[in-house]
Amino acid sequence: MIFDWSAFFNGFGTGAGLIIAIGAQNAFILKQAILRNHVLTIAIVCSIVDTVLILCGVFGFATLLESSPILIQIAKWGGFIFLGIYGLRSFLAMRKSHAIELDKSKKKPSWRKIIALTLAFSLLNPHVYLDAVVLLGSISSQFPDAEQPSFAVGACLASITWFFSLCYGAQYLAPFFTNPKSWKILDFLVGVIMWAIAAAILM
C-alpha cells in the first residue's frame, strides 16, 4: 500500500470539521480539562473510542457500499444533506449564548466515574455514529481501496489531535471559552467547514 497524502489530508480535514463541532462531549471534556480531572484518561478514552468507530466506518461501511452502486449514491446525497443540516445548526447556534460554568469548590470525581462519564458522552450520542461511522464511511467510499487507509489515518489523527489538544490546552482556553462570543466564533467556523465539505461531496 502506498500512502496517499491527498486522501490523508482529506480525512484529516473531514475528521477535524466533525470533531470540533460543539456538543455535549466536547463541552464535558473542556470542563473536566479546565478543572484538571484525570485529563490523560479522558484524552485516551475519547481517542480510542473515536478511532475504533472511524475504522469501523471507513472499512466496514465502505465494503458494504462496494456491493451496491445505489447505496453509494444514497450515501453521497445523505452525507450532503446531513452536513448541510449540521452546518445550518452551527449557524443557528450562534444565536444562543454558550458558556462553561465552573465550580472549583466541588470535590473531584473518581477515576472510575470519569471513565464512565467519558464513555457515556462518547457512546450515548447518536451523532457520534452518524459522524464517525456513516458519514466518514460514505465519504471514504469515494476514494479507491488503496487510498482508504490513508483517509482513515487522517481522520483518526484529527480526532486524537483534537482530544489531546483540548484536554491539555484547556487551561489556556479557560478564559476564552467562558466568553459566549468565543462559542459564536467557533459555531461560525464549524458551520463554514461543514458546508464546504458538503459541497465537496457532490463535486
For residue 158, what is its C-alpha cell? 484529527
Q: What is the pLDDT of residues 45-56, one digit of tens each?
A: 999 999 998 998
Q: Using CA atoms, how far apart are residues 73 and 69, in angstroms rounded to an integer?
A: 7
Q: Using CA atoms, how far apart are residues 58 and 194, in angstroms rounded to an integer?
A: 19
For residue 172, what is its C-alpha cell? 489556556
Mean pLDDT over 73-86 rounds to: 76
For residue 153, what is its C-alpha cell? 489515518
Looking at per-residue pLDDT, the higher value among 144 and 22 belongs to: 144
Whose cell is 452551527? That residue is 90
Q: C-alpha angle 23/195/158, rounded to 5°? A: 55
User: What is the pLDDT at residue 176?
Assistant: 73
Mean pLDDT over 186-202 rounds to: 77
For residue 73, what is its C-alpha cell? 449514491
Helices (H), 124-179: 126-129, 136-140, 148-177
* High-pLDDT (> 90) share of the chain, %: 19
Q: What is the pLDDT of residues 1-30, one digit of tens each?
A: 678 888 899 899 888 888 876 566 787 887
* Residue closest to 154 by CA, chosen among 2, 45, 3: 3
